[in-house]
């Protein structure tokens, strides 16, 4: 469990190895309210990370100047990040599923992985064919059962 997964906390090192750093800015509502951290609160942060990646590093909630107001609106209002304009619909659905109010309704990281494998498979299947895709993603060819959409 990380507690603050966000683009600013992903450091790229030697051989394009990604290291996760820092803790604490774009938190899930249950974390803000009760200080509860879980894999599901990290899933919320993963949704924020997706927003940051697909918006080319745009600051979440940039139209709100005070962090206390962001916290209040996320906790008591229904402030949720909207998918960036150019975000593909499949990715937008995955991102939005991360922002479920009830942590138990959010996907697990295994669910997110399966959803992204499905998105990648569909994308590459249409552009280069299944055989080439299976060679490119040898780990995937062994278990096609890994494909499953995230419930949105």
List all residues 6 or more positions away from 2 whose beta carbon is below 8 Å from its beta carbon.
9, 20, 23, 42, 45
Per-residue pLDDT tens for 9-46? 676 777 777 766 554 567 889 988 888 889 999 999 89
Q: Which residues pair with 18 in a beta bridge?
A: 12
Classified as helix, coil or strand, 20 is strand
Catalytic residue status for 91? no
- φ, ψ dihedrals at 101, nearest 5°: -60, -45
Task: Output DSSP code: residue 63.
Answer: T
Q: Which domains does the chain have, with CATH numbers?
A: 1-98 (1.10.510.10), 107-152 (no CATH)
Per-residue pLDDT tens for 49-92? 899 889 998 888 888 888 888 888 988 878 899 999 999 999 99
pLDDT value of position 150: 57
Q: Which of 4, 16, 110, 111 is catalytic?
A: 4
């Amino acid at each position: 469990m990380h507690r603050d997964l966000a683009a600013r906390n992903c450091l790229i090192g030697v051989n394009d190895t990604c290291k996760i750093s820092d803790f604490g800015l774009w938190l899930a509502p249950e974390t803000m309210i009760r200080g509860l951290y879980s894999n599901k609160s990290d899933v919320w942060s993963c949704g924020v990370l997706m927003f940051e990646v697909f918006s080319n590093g745009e600051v979440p909630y940039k139209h709100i100047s005070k962090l206390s107001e962001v916290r209040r609106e996320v906790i008591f209002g229904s402030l949720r990040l909207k998918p960036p304009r150019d975000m593909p619909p499949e990715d937008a659905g995955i991102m939005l599923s991360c922002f479920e109010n009830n942590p138990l309704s959010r996907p697990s990281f295994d669910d997110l992985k399966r959803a992204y494998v499905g998105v990648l498979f569909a994308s590459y299947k249409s552009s280069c064919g299944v055989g080439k895709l299976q060679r490119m993603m040898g780990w995937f060819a062994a278990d096609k059962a890994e494909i499953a959409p995230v419930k949105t």
